[in-house]
Amino acid sequence: MGKIDYREIETLQGQVSSHYNSISEATATISSIDAKLAKLRSAKQSVGNIRSEIHEIKISVMGKDDQPEWKGQQKENFGHQWEGFGQDFNACQRELDAFHDAICDEITRLENQKLDQQSFIGWCQTQINNLGNFIEKLLN
């Protein structure tokens, strides 16, 4: 049995400790990401519900512009107002769609960030395992 190099073992144990600290930081980051994801998923569901409600309103309102008993100026005025309403309504739907898409994009970005952190944790655990093996061999 050879001489044990305690300085090298101490250096390696320092590396192990550093990896454990990195794992703790990554775990905290994952917890933060999970909290953000929960809020975003709730917001996504709420926006989806609003979009569905607006779609139902649109379906119920769309046939109301044809009022055969209206004639002349009243019908013409209503037609202009109806066009403005339709444009505003469509703009509202487009904005909600864009907002929903932005939420989906942010969810995907955070999920990918979480996967990166999980991969980093796996890498750190591999390094800890390898260092532990190396330290054990130095002690034998």
The CATH number of residue 129's host domain is 1.10.287
- Assess if residue 126 is contained within a domain: yes
Per-residue pLDDT tens over the stretch 76-88: 888 888 888 889 9
Structural domains in the chain (count):
1
- pTM, two decimal places: 0.81
Evaluate if residue 117 carries a pLDDT over 60. Answer: yes
Evaluate if residue 22 carries a pLDDT over 60. Answer: yes
75 falls in which pLDDT band (50, 70, 90)? confident
Return the higher-pLDDT residue of 31 and 81: 31
Q: Are 17 and 122 in contact (CB under 8 A)?
A: no
- Assess if residue 123 is contained within a domain: yes
Structure tokens at 78: 């209503």
- Assess if residue 83 is contained within a domain: yes
- Assess if residue 98 is contained within a domain: yes
- Assess if residue 103 is contained within a domain: yes
- Assess if residue 118 is contained within a domain: yes
Q: Are 138 and 5 in contact (CB under 8 A)?
A: yes
Burial (CB count within 10 angstroms: exposed 0-12, middle 13-18, buried 19+), residue 44: middle
- Assess if residue 93 is contained within a domain: yes
What is the pLDDT, as a whole number, of residue 130? 98
- Assess if residue 70 is contained within a domain: no
- State which residues form the domain around 117: 6-62+75-139
Burial (CB count within 10 angstroms: exposed 0-12, middle 13-18, buried 19+), residue 134: middle
Evaluate if residue 46 carries a pLDDT over 80. Answer: yes
